[in-house]
Structure 1
Amino acid sequence: MAGKSREVAEMMITRGVDILCVQETRWRGNKAKEIGGGCKLLYSGADENGRSGVGIIVNTELKEKVVEVKRSGNRIMKVKLMLSEEVLNVISAYAPQAACTEEEKSMFWRELDEVLTSVSEEERVVLGGDLNGHIGTDRRVISRIHGGLGMGERNEEGEGIIDFAVAFDMALINTFFMKKDYVTYRSGGRESN
């Protein structure tokens, strides 16, 4: 995100995006700041090595409806908005990568579980994040949460994502629509979409 915030705000305005969850912001601290075009970034900062960090960007209209910001370390944050007829909780999450320890991964999923269970059942929840797993295209038994348009082969982390979605009765929305086949990350001969 460093140096790209104005560009992101312009993209949100151009594409009509009201709320955007961002991960790996690499900004330090727990703050909120205007980033241009009336958009406001609320973020939970990077670790001591300048890694991780999550944020939620809201447009001009919605920034006045934010009533609560809860930060859970540098990988999870929740913003609560009071809309005219409902309460919306937006969660931005960034799961530890495959190279991280099992302890780090378990702690992340426990913290995310705590954040989600703290939300009243009468309130709506949207989770936007990079959960660092491949859920594949197989939707047997879980067609209610998986639309069949995932990418690649399901891995262990993907199994965890599916189990989490089932436990919280959530749908993996990005599996319900076609996406361009593109690579978002390359390192050491490995790629991810």
Structure 2
Amino acid sequence: MERSMLGITLRDRVSSQIIRQRTKIQDVERVAILKWSWAGHLARTTDERWTKRVLEWRPREEAYRSRGRPPTRWTDDIKRICPNWIQEAQQRDRWNELRKTYVQQWTRLVDR
């Protein structure tokens, strides 16, 4: 998103750190922490809110799928750290321990 804001393409070979200096985004880690916290909150909800239903929704198997790589889902990077993340989020202490690992991985992906 920052690259598109500045009109810089990957072919320009400008590093993400320089782009962050230009856009003045101060804390990319904060975004990762907020996403991790929100995921834990959603996993711990007990009632059937639409947010949790959308999170667990899977498309029909017989539906037509387009060619190419499947789109990345919101939970894909969370599942890389913790495949059974909904069960892990029930234990807040364990969930908070995993947050550091997630933030490190997420910021490493953003810096590419």
TM normalised by structure 2 equals: 0.30
TM normalised by structure 1 equals: 0.21
**Structure having the larger proportion of residues in strand:** 1
**Structure having the larger proportion of residues in helix:** 2
